[in-house]
Amino acid sequence: MILYIASFFATLFFSALFATGGMGSSVVLIPILGFLGVDFNLAKAVGLFINTTTTSTASFLNWRRQLLDFSTITPFLIASVCCAPIGTYCASIWNVEYIKLAFVIFLFFSSAKIFFKGRTPHEETVKCKWAIFSLGLGVGFLAGLLGIGGGALIVPVLFAMGFSPMQIAINASFMIPFSTLSAFLSYAGFITIDWTLIGVTTIASMLGGFVGNRIMHAKLKNTDIKNVLCLVLCLVGFKMLYDILAV
């Protein structure tokens, strides 16, 4: 019972925080669940499902507000879904530690660039479908390879393309759940799922997604959202760096 209560409040807090930036929180929740005694593979499956429900909740609210840019999202979805299985296969034959280290460096560099940039880099957003499609390929591949939702890659790339922090949070929240749901289903095929834990964390993540989305739209300006995005990228980077050093 203590495990479920602790998992609920941890999931609620981090889901709300990450949803404020349009991202899933599994990369932080997985080690927390492991610390609470949850098997690592089960923790990854729960984390992926939490990512799916959190970002799906935010996406539904954004869809209700008619804020989603489907011309940007659709090429990404097609590419990421097609490329995720390739990343999963490569994870079984590659040593991914060097890839993780390069990704950590990329995260810290991107966070610093976003934080110290007063405005988005372009006066107008560059909406190149081929660039979005390429982003989808990269995110899908990394989702399969590293077991991440891809928000940490989506955020700096969309920022570099000229999207405002609000646009990034809105679009990223819709891009993530497709790859994370696919990864969850693959885990569910070979491990025993604790459905009580799934249920508890799902309720918490949906509440967190709702709270984070409301805070983003009602309380935060673009500058505030930019700071949240930087914080989330740094959290992801420190967590991945810890994993590398702990090996």
Q: Per-domain residue ranges for the chain?
A: 1-246
Look at residue 2 and give its three-state secondary structure. Answer: helix
Instruction: Output b/e per residue, 178-196; b: 16+ Cβ within 10 A.
Output: bbbbbbbeebeeeeeebee
Show pLDDT as tens, one digit a residue, over the chain (247 residues): 889 999 999 899 888 887 777 777 777 787 788 778 888 778 878 887 888 877 777 788 888 888 887 877 888 888 887 887 787 778 778 876 777 787 788 778 878 877 776 554 444 555 677 888 888 888 888 777 776 667 777 877 887 788 887 888 888 878 878 777 877 877 777 778 899 999 999 999 889 888 887 887 777 777 787 788 788 888 878 877 887 787 6
Contacts 24+ apart (CB under 8 A), 91-94: 91/144, 91/145, 91/146, 91/147, 94/145
Cα dist. 192→35, 37, 182, 185, 234 in Å?
Answer: 19, 15, 17, 12, 32
Q: Three-state SS across 154-211? A: HHHHHHHCCCCHHHHHHHHHHHHHHHHHHHHHHHHCCCCCCHHHHHHHHHHHHHHHHH
Distance CA 81, CA 143 (A): 10
Q: pTM of the prediction?
A: 0.69
Q: What are phi and psi of 37, to 5 degrees?
A: 105, 10
* pLDDT value at residue 127: 63
